[in-house]
Amino acid sequence: MTDGTAQIPETNTQATPYRVLARKYRPGTFAALIGQEPMVRTLKNAIDSGRLAHAFVLTGVRGVGKTTTARLIARALNCVGADGQGGPTVDPCGVCRQCLAIAESRHVDVIEMDAASRTGIDDIREIIDGVRYAPGDARYKIYIIDEVHMLSKQAFNGLLKTLEEPPPHVKFIFATTEIRKVPITVLSRCQRFDLRRVEGATLKQHFASLAALENVEIDDDALAMIARAADGSVRDGLSLMDQAISHGAGKVDAAQVRDMLGLADRARVLDLFEAVISGDIRTALANVREQYNSGADPATIIEDLLGVTHWLTQMRLAPEASTDGLPEAERQFGEKIVSSLTMPSLTRAWQMLLKGLEETRAAPAPISAAEMVLIRLAYAADLPSPADLVKKLQGTPATSAGAAPSAPAAPQPSGGNGGASAVSHGGSARAETAPMAHAAPQPQASGLPQPRSFLDLVALAVEQKEGVLEAHLIDNVHLVRFQPGRIELRPAGRAPPDLIGKLSQRLHEWTGVRWVVTVSSEPGEPTLREQRQAAERQRHDEVNEHPLVKAALRAFPGAQVTSIIDTAAADPAPSEADSVIDADPDDLEELDL
């Protein structure tokens, strides 16, 4: 691939106004496209073999070259060569009248339409009417529709028949950033090309070559920052580079780009990560406050820490791939610190930083939220992994490589003959293990009786204070079969997808026995909530049919039974209400109510 600087020669010899880099260095040939080699190779083979599709759809993120590629395809199909005798070619000459007219967007047979502003069926009718006529000057009449996903449903439907069987002189080229919004009926009629994000190293090299053409001095760190901020988009990167050149007055360094983008200093971020992961919160808070006073955005600092965490995780798993192209100082830092970090500590840091990023963005004072995130992470840095904690509680040494120092252990409920407890000493806690009767730990609730029915299971959930699980068992499952050790259920619509697995796990913890909990397609019984409601309705119906209640309701028009008290279960002292209920229905009219 070339450096992407091939351009259409300027036909105007007079001084022209300044053009931004993204327009000035728009690729003029397929060879000048960077990072899209698979697509170029496919197009080249199709053109060389004459297997030209009648419709193409180009998809990818913004700024990777969709519209540019569409125009290059139009030039490739219509180029006649410098001598006027050429045919379709993947290397258009760039000097014939067809190439020049298409490059300057003035060719009568290459029609570009922005679907974001022309979305209706009337706009598509113009295309349908126009495809009947042969091209006036070119080999093919080409319709380029940008942001095609913005077309209305009626517009897509109106285009389908023409798109499936267009005249041989017509080609369609669609471009979109939202391929999922394009109907499948349209996609099935097109040849699809996915333009990839351009890798950071490729972008950096491309920007360096353009800076040389512009006679601009820009250091490698600044180019790396711009390439990273571009996030795979060539156009975004060139816009940032244009801004950086103006910001630096022709000479750009990393500090200027950092100030322009509001980024944190990379060295400071690495020092901050090291301080946080080692639990040195005083140094970490001073570091982040210094970065904030220098203009760094708190959310950006957290994002940079996430990037460091991801990089170190990669370095631990695949050291060769994660250090390619890194500055020597960063590589040495990674090699020094990654040996003291375990995968559990890295994944824990990732989760806490990811949650903290949301809090920082939503907080009224982002710097305060960022500091609280770092405080939590620093205090969690020396917590052991769950496996090491279990081994410590059992009295066996932890053997995980690079494990962090021991930290406070959560108190365990005492269970008769001993267990583990957390004992406080001078503001810190350490886990102490009491002698155990057996080497292997027993299930936490092995002494509980085994549930013999589904109601026993619900009662066990209540006893274990599993309120959420209890609610789902009552409201969101239909019992199909129950026998000790095996349960068949049909989850209702609102049951969470992990309910069955969680129920099986809890039963094992509570009873010490493996229970098989399966999903059945049989209807099963009504839910416990439905059974309870049905019983309440039946009870109300029975009470309302009682002669005494009927007489009371007749005596008090508009009255209704709101609650029913079972006097057999709880026999309170006689009251006026009891006298009324015990009274003869014929005597009700004589009572002074």
Torsion, Cα 230 234 240 241, to 10 degrees, reads 120
Judge if pTM exceeds 0.75.
no
Q: Which residue has the higher pLDDT, 109 or 249?
A: 109
Q: Are 80 and 96 in contact (CB under 8 A)?
A: yes
Is residue 214 a part of any domain in this protein?
no
Q: Are residues 340 and 293 in the same domain?
A: yes
Considering 212-216, 292-296, 350-354, 462-466, the range whose residues carry the highest mean pLDDT is 350-354
Statement: residue 414 has pLDDT above 50: no
pLDDT band of 325, cuts 50, 70, 90: low
Q: Are residues 305 and 371 in the same domain?
A: yes
Q: Which residue has the higher pLDDT, 553 or 312?
A: 312
The residue among 326, 354, 380 that closes a domain is 380
Q: Which residue has the higher pLDDT, 346 or 318?
A: 346
Mean pLDDT of the chain: 78
pLDDT band of 441, cuts 50, 70, 90: very low
The residue among 158, 177, 194 that closes a domain is 194
| Secondary element (H or E) of residue 143 | strand 141-146
229 token code pair: 């901020």
Statement: residue 543 has pLDDT above 50: yes
Phi, psi of 235 (to 5 degrees): -65, -45
Q: Which of 273-277, 390-394, 537-541, 584-588 has the lowest mean pLDDT?
A: 584-588
Residues 268, 370: Cα–Cα separation, whole Å:
15
Statement: residue 199 has pLDDT above 80: yes
Q: Are 287 and 268 in contact (CB under 8 A)?
A: yes
Statement: residue 567 has pLDDT above 60: yes
* pLDDT digit string, tens, across residues 35-47: 888 888 888 888 8
Segments forming the whole domain that contains residue 474? 454-529
* pLDDT digit string, tens, across residues 468-511: 888 888 888 888 888 888 888 888 878 888 888 888 888 888 88
Q: Are residues 55 and 152 in the same domain?
A: yes
Beta-sheet strands, E only, within 28-135: 55-59, 110-114
- Region 47-76: what's the mean pLDDT? 89
Q: Are residues 44 and 184 in the same domain?
A: yes
* pLDDT digit string, tens, across residues 120-179: 898 888 888 888 888 888 889 999 999 999 999 999 999 998 888 889 899 999 999 999
Q: Which residue has the higher pLDDT, 158 or 321?
A: 158
110 token code pair: 């290459």
Q: Are residues 508 and 584 in the same domain?
A: no
Q: Which residues of 541-574 are buried (b: 16+ CB within 10 A; e: fewer)?
A: eeeeeeeebebbeeeeeeeeeeeeeeeeeeeeee
Q: Are residues 165 and 72 in the same domain?
A: yes
Q: Which residues of 358-368 are buried (b: 16+ CB within 10 A; e: fewer)?
A: eebeebeebbe
Is residue 359 a part of any domain in this protein?
yes
- Region 11-39: what's the mean pLDDT? 78
Residues 233, 227: Cα–Cα separation, whole Å:
9
CA distances (Å), 341 to each of 266, 267, 402, in order? Answer: 20, 19, 6
1 token code pair: 């691939």
- Which amino acid is it at 280? D
Statement: residue 112 has pLDDT above 80: yes
Is residue 21 a part of any domain in this protein?
no
Q: Are residues 177 and 59 in the same domain?
A: yes
- Region 437-442: what's the mean pLDDT? 35
DSSP H helices in 249-394:
254-261, 266-277, 281-293, 298-317, 319-322, 328-338, 343-362, 366-380, 386-394
Q: Are residues 461 and 367 in the same domain?
A: no
- pLDDT (0 to 100) of residue 483: 82
Domain holding 81: CATH number?
3.40.50.300
* pLDDT digit string, tens, across residues 166-191: 898 999 999 999 999 999 999 999 99
Sequential DSSP letters for 177-236: S-GGGS-HHHHTTSEEEEPPPPPHHHHHHHHHHHHHHTT-EE-HHHHHHHHHHHTT-HHH
Other beta carbons within 10 Å of 146: 20
- pLDDT (0 to 100) of residue 270: 86
Q: Are residues 159 and 286 in the same domain?
A: no
Into how many domains does the chain fold? 4
Statement: residue 534 has pLDDT above 50: yes
- pLDDT (0 to 100) of residue 390: 66
Is residue 255 a part of any domain in this protein?
no
- pLDDT (0 to 100) of residue 419: 37
